[in-house]
């Protein structure tokens, strides 16, 4: 940039999804927070969300050229890592003098690898990024972009070497963060069923140690909660400024601190914030009293990380819960009148068909309102990844495939075909026309989402049946292909 002490212009980018992956549309909170702290300190910020605008590389290059920022920062998860590298390449071609950054869960772990793999990447920001981003913007503004040795939490290139600075301690006072800068996004583009479904994070950190999860590496072990009054300030702001129609509480474990969760609900009631909302939490961090309170403040859906119906699996995953606790929490939540979504991990290393059957039986017994079946994905930096290495299992997948509907490693005990069969059989029973009608008639926002998932499944099934019928009548006698079944294929088909 050349001029000292002119505040840097930072462009933040959400990279596109890989073409083959099904995409859920959401306002990226990480970018929102980074933009907010930068603007608070007077830096100019622009945001490009490729998941909404879908620019090709030429359009993206032109966009960067016209913005001509001093810093280009890209976020990424593992699934968006390769597209993020492409974004960086385009960025460097368009604005060669800009300092390029990448942050997010993938490079927080594979910092060194990213810098080696990409000539266009200058600095990796590991872990929580707000303070680091500010320090980098300051250095660039002062013309000191080469002077990175004092910035905690970064890994960077310095005369053919890769230097990893010490970690940055997690922020202790997350109440001091400004509101995420949603004004950079056209919120109309993120609507679901015409509803502004607005995200909020009221805490950071998770004290649990589940083997498949990176939350601790990203946000730390210690639970850091925002104060209830600040949380409800944000809810009011989302309602009044962004016409929120529903809130998604995206905390790792929203009710980790039961007292704080009660206090947030009290504050919501006091200020009459009564829009529908949903949250994610652990089954051992709820009780009947709290669930009644959540319901009274219009919590309509609660997501529990149930993971498995097999005690052996829960133990191996270091989940710290039991099958009984899982069943009890689902029962209590349903009794309180809150719909329950459970997420499950299937195909975990050493899981046998019998253990998987226990999970299916658990679902039939406890009857949750919605089920996410996720294949065990060994995200870099997790204990699951280390376990797979230790077992010597082959990992043929590429980063683009690191999604919950893909099998990443070869598991002799539960091969892909078997998993897909079990999954299909379960959802054929679960997503019935009756389920669809019940949810559709219930009519509330969350039931609409569930109804659509059921409809997708039903339509996909009937299309597949038609397709198979046509194919079979054409090529009689030929063997039919196994035809892998995945959510993404299913969704793409039904949207077609
Ligand atoms: C909420 C959440 C979601 C929400 C997104 C909410 C939202 N509106 O942003 C939903 C449900 C949509 C979601 C979806 C998915 N998620 Co998610 N999600 C989370 C969760 C619980 C919190 C993330 C969050 O918002 N944190 C708060 C914000 C402020 O933090 P942040 O985004 O990480 O950004 C900060 C830093 O990472 C850093 N940073 C990030 N990018 C950049 C860029 C620059 C330039 C800089 C300087 C800094 C920086 O600074 C930011 C501010 O501190 C995390 C677990 C966790 N605790 O991290 C999992 C997590 C991130 N998700 C995960 C996954 C796998 C997914 C999915 C891929 C699942 C799937 N469908 O298969 C999708 C797709 C994600 C995507 N497109 O990138 C994994 C990622 C692992 C990995 N290596 O990829 C995590 C870590 C959970 C896990 N399994 O361990 N997710
Ligand atoms: S899965 Fe949930 S409870 Fe387990 S470590 Fe991750 S965020 Fe915490």
What mean pLDDT do residues 376-381 have? 96
**Chain mean pLDDT for the chain:** 92
- Looking at the predicted structure, is the pLDDT value of residue 242 above 50? yes
Q: Kindly state if the Cβ of 220 falls inside 6 Å of ligand 2.
A: no
Q: Kindly state if the Cβ of 253 falls inside 6 Å of ligand 2.
A: yes
Q: Cβ distance 455 to 494 under 8 Å?
A: yes
pLDDT band at 24 (very low <50, low <70, confident <90, very high): confident
What is the DSSP-derived secondary structure letter of residue 195?
Answer: B
List, for residues 46-101, the tens digit of each pLDDT value.
999 999 999 999 999 999 999 999 999 999 999 999 999 999 999 999 999 999 99
- Looking at the predicted structure, is the pLDDT value of residue 478 above 70? no
Q: Check residue 493 and give its pLDDT.
A: 34
Residue 77 alpha carbon to ligand 1 centre in Å: 7
Residue 383 tokens, joined: 């204990």
**Ligand minimally distant from the alpha carbon of residue 373:** 1
pLDDT band at 4 (very low <50, low <70, confident <90, very high): low
Residue 346 alpha carbon to ligand 1 centre in Å: 21
Q: Check residue 461 and give its pLDDT.
A: 81
Q: Interhelix angle for 288-296 vs 258-270, to 10°?
A: 20
Q: Check residue 1 and give its pLDDT.
A: 52
Residue 57 alpha carbon to ligand 2 centre in Å: 36
The whole-angstrom separation of Cα 346 and Cα 142 is 51
pLDDT band at 462 (very low <50, low <70, confident <90, very high): confident
Q: Which CATH number fits domain 9-164: 1.10.8.50, 3.40.225.10, 3.30.720.110, 3.40.50.280?
A: 3.40.50.280
Q: What is the CA radius of gyration of the chain?
A: 23
List, for residues 324-370, the tens digit of each pLDDT value.
999 999 999 999 999 999 999 999 999 999 999 999 999 999 999 99
List, for residues 252-271, the tens digit of each pLDDT value.
999 999 999 999 999 999 99
**Ligand minimally distant from the alpha carbon of residue 206:** 2
Compute how many other C-beta atoms are within 10 angstroms of the C-beta atom of residue 379.
19
Q: Kindly state if the Cβ of 214 falls inside 6 Å of ligand 2.
A: no
- Looking at the predicted structure, is the pLDDT value of residue 482 above 60? no
Q: Cβ distance 336 to 288 under 8 Å?
A: yes
The whole-angstrom separation of Cα 401 and Cα 418 is 19
List, for residues 277-303, the tens digit of each pLDDT value.
999 999 999 999 999 999 999 999 999
Q: Cβ distance 338 to 400 under 8 Å?
A: no
The whole-angstrom separation of Cα 61 and Cα 68 is 10
Q: Kindly state if the Cβ of 403 falls inside 6 Å of ligand 1.
A: yes
Quick one: how many helices (H) and strands (E) in the chain?
19, 15
Q: Check residue 406 and give its pLDDT.
A: 85
Q: Check residue 465 and give its pLDDT.
A: 64
Q: Kindly state if the Cβ of 92 falls inside 6 Å of ligand 2.
A: no
Q: Check residue 229 and give its pLDDT.
A: 98
Fold of the domain spanning 191-451: TIM Barrel (3.20.20)
Q: Check residue 474 and give its pLDDT.
A: 55
Residue 186 tokens, joined: 């056209």
Q: Check residue 470 and give its pLDDT.
A: 65
Q: Kindly state if the Cβ of 491 falls inside 6 Å of ligand 1.
A: no
pLDDT band at 308 (very low <50, low <70, confident <90, very high): very high
pLDDT band at 411 (very low <50, low <70, confident <90, very high): confident
Kindly list the domain boundaries of the chain, sorted by start residue: 9-164, 191-451
Whether the model clears a pTM of 0.85, i.e. scores above it, the answer is yes
Residue 11 alpha carbon to ligand 2 centre in Å: 31
137-151, 206-220, 398-412 — which is least confidently predicted?
Answer: 398-412
Q: Interhelix angle for 29-40 vs 130-141, to 10°?
A: 50
Residue 99 tokens, joined: 């300092």
Q: Kindly state if the Cβ of 284 falls inside 6 Å of ligand 2.
A: no
The whole-angstrom separation of Cα 7 and Cα 473 is 68
Q: Check residue 491 and give its pLDDT.
A: 37
- Looking at the predicted structure, is the pLDDT value of residue 371 above 70? yes
């Amino acid at each position: 940039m050349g001029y000292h002490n002119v505040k840097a212009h930072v462009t933040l980018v959400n990279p596109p999804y890989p073409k083959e992956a099904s995409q859920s549309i959401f306002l990226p909170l990480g970018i929102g927070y980074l933009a907010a702290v930068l603007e608070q300190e007077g830096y100019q910020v622009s945001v490009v969300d490729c998941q909404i605008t879908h620019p090709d590389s030429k359009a993206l290059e032109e966009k960067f050229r016209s913005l001509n920022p001093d810093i280009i920062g890209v976020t990424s998860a593992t699934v968006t890592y390769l597209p993020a590298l492409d974004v960086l390449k385009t960025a460097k071609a368009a604005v060669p003098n800009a300092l390029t950054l990448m942050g997010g869960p993938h490079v927080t772990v594979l910092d060194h690898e990213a810098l080696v793999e990409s000539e266009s990447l200058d600095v990796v920001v590991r872990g929580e990024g707000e303070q680091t981003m500010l320090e980098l913007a300051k250095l660039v503004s002062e013309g000191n972009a080469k002077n990175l040795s004092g910035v905690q939490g970064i890994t960077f290139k310095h005369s053919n070497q890769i230097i990893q600075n010490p970690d940055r301690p997690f922020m202790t006072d997350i109440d001091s963060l400004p509101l995420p800068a949603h004004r950079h996004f056209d919120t109309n583009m993120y609507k679901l069923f015409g509803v502004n479904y607005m995200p909020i994070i009221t805490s950071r950190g998770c004290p649990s140690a589940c083997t498949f999860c990176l939350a601790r590496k990203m946000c730390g072990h210690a639970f850091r909660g925002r104060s209830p009054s600040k949380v409800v300030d944000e809810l009011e702001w989302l309602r009044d400024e962004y016409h929120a129609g529903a809130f998604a509480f995206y905390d790792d474990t929203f009710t980790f601190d039961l007292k704080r969760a009660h206090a947030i609900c009290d504050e919501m009631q006091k200020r009459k914030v009564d829009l529908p909302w949903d949250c994610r939490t652990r089954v051992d961090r709820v009780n009947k009293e709290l669930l009644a309170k959540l319901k009274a403040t219009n919590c309509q859906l609660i997501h529990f990380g149930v993971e498995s119906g097999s005690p052996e699996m829960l133990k191996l995953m270091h989940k710290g819960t039991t099958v009984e606790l899982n069943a009890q929490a689902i029962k209590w939540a349903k009794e309180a009148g809150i719909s329950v979504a459970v997420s499950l991990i299937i195909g975990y290393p050493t899981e046998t068909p019998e253990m998987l059957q226990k999970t299916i039986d658990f679902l039939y017994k406890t009857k949750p309102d919605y089920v996410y079946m996720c294949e065990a994905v060994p995200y870099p930096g997790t204990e699951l990844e280390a376990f797979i290495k230790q077992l010597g299992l082959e990992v043929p997948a590429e980063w683009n495939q690191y999604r919950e509907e893909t099998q990443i490693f070869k598991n002799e005990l539960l091969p892909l075909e078997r998993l897909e069969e079990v999954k299909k059989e379960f959802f054929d029973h679960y997503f019935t026309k009756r389920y669809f009608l019940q949810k559709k008639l219930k009519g509330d926002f969350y039931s609409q989402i569930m109804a659509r998932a059921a409809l997708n499944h039903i339509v996909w099934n009937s299309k597949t049946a038609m397709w198979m019928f046509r194919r079979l009548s054409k090529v009689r006698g030929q063997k039919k292909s196994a035809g892998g079944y995945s959510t993404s294929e299913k969704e793409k088909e039904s949207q077609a």
